[in-house]
Amino acid sequence: MTKKPEVFRLLKSFNNEDYLEFDKFLRSPYLNRFSSLIIIFEFVCSNKDMILNENIYELENLIREKSKFSKSTVNKLFTYLTYAVLDYYRIKCVIKDEIYLQLRLNDYLLNIEEYKLLDASQIKLDENILNSNTIMEDSFLYSHLQNNNLYATSISNNNLWKNKENDSLTYIKNSTNDIYLFSLIQSIYNYVNFIIKKININRDDLNWNSVNLDSYLIAGEEIIYYDKNMNRQIVFNLYKKLYLAFKNLYIDDFYQDYKSFFFEYIKTFNIDTVIKHFELLTGYCLARERSNDNNNYFSYEWLNLTNQKMNLENSDNTSNKYLRAFQFRNYIIKCFALYDHVHLLNFIEKYSIRLSPIDYKEMLNYGMAHYYYLIYDYKKALKCLNNIKINYYFYKYDLTNLELKIYFDKYNIDLIERAIHNYNELLKHDTFLTKLDKIRLKKLLSYYQKLIYLPEKLKLDNKYLDDVYILKSQLGVESNFAMRKWLIQKVDELIFKFDKDTVNKEIKNK
């Protein structure tokens, strides 16, 4: 089969604003020297639905037919259009980062000795860098470049006669401290991502000392101690506490120290950085959950922090108009795992209206299916599942897992066996799952299949209790995987129902 042109994959990520802006880009002779690209793009704009529906070959044929260009010419123009889209992205990135753009302009103004304009620009930048409510992870890179420019300006021929040595020294110190802080922030982000990734794969194989930033932080203690800028001190201490929280992952005090310090100085940072730290806090909570700790503290902590984060993301200060579907899904799954149907329903009622019109119906059915399961209304749960038409990849397995639970609780063996068959087929043909994800889901099915015939066997003979206890023991030593807690719960229910001696002993001990 002929390979699809790369440009269509890029265009698939375009929103309506991108289509309008890219059209302006192509019509600028300064930016685009191929006028024929405008013709091709006009055909694309008229048939955007064909891109979204993956009807690429039909679109290619349509463009060749209407443009009267040969196949080789159209293919060549597709390649040029790909380059044009990438150029558009480059310009978009540069224009979006106004501070960095101004810093580069300042370097140019210095080179051409436009000192009057340069001085005004430097003063304006000072008002936007390292001030409260504005600090972000790139702030110290910007401040580093600003101080480099200030130093270069102070020793230029035009300023040499009026240069004060202390000013130049201050610029050098600031530049050095800023590049240290920027590097520290990036290093700690990398460290945290490393820890989270390792825990997701296999906590037992995690080498806590494989990445060690202790000496880096010790060196910074002295650097920041002599710095009079309060915001540099705040940022250094915040990221130090973040590092220590993840380095000492299972000691609560380090997490609480990081969290309380963040909330104390939250107004120091711009909203994007605040949201970033909410993500780090919730990431910590997820890491703690994956330690197989049965305490629900960090699950509810995750819900509370995510609530605050979603309110920020959909505030007037951000560009997020709608709540994203996967965020809605993650919250539903967390409530579901806690068997908290009250919290789940409150969330649906409050936040479903923030979903985009495209997602609203699907995600409402998704949420209510999980809610109805928790209140044992399996008929309505299945009805909601059947109403979901768009099978988004990120919750496809959530729905199949919910079906497995419903069919077992209703105890319909025919439906259970059919669902298992469909699940295996889904896994076999899934090209997106990682090898590890497939192993985990196959493990779920393996244990599920061990469980499903036990109720019928136990009705016939209590000797099968040995199989129940073996299954419970196996699940007890397993690392987390989908439905593990549910499987353990169902095993315990079988023990409570069929092993009267064990249950009576437990009641007596209590």
Reported as a single tens digit per residue, the pLDDT across 156-171 is: 866 654 555 567 888 9
Cα separation values, 28 from 25, 86, 97, Å? 5, 16, 22
Q: How far apart are CA 389 and CA 365, in angstroms?
A: 10
Q: How far apart are CA 405 and CA 410, in angstroms?
A: 9
Asked if residue 367 belongs to a domain, the reply is no
Q: How far apart are CA 478 and CA 443, in angstroms?
A: 10
pLDDT at 506: 53
Asked if residue 275 belongs to a domain, the reply is no
Asked if residue 66 belongs to a domain, the reply is yes
Asked if residue 145 belongs to a domain, the reply is no
SS3 content of the chain, % helix, strand, coil (to 5): 75, 0, 20
pLDDT at 194: 87
Cα separation values, 79 from 36, 86, 266, 323, 412, Å? 12, 11, 47, 35, 55
Asked if residue 23 belongs to a domain, the reply is yes
Rounded to the nearest angstrom, the gap between the alpha carbon of residue 55 and the centroid of all alpha carbons in its chain is: 29
pLDDT at 319: 57
Note down the domain range covering 18. Answer: 6-96
Asked if residue 319 belongs to a domain, the reply is no
pTM of the model: 0.79
Number of structural domains (the chain) is 1
pLDDT at 273: 94
Asked if residue 456 belongs to a domain, the reply is no
Any residues with CB less than 8 A from the CB of 288 and at least 6 apart, and which? 249, 250, 255, 298
pLDDT < 70: residue spans in the chain: 1-4, 51-55, 132, 157-166, 200-210, 291-294, 315-320, 390-394, 501-510
Asked if residue 81 belongs to a domain, the reply is yes
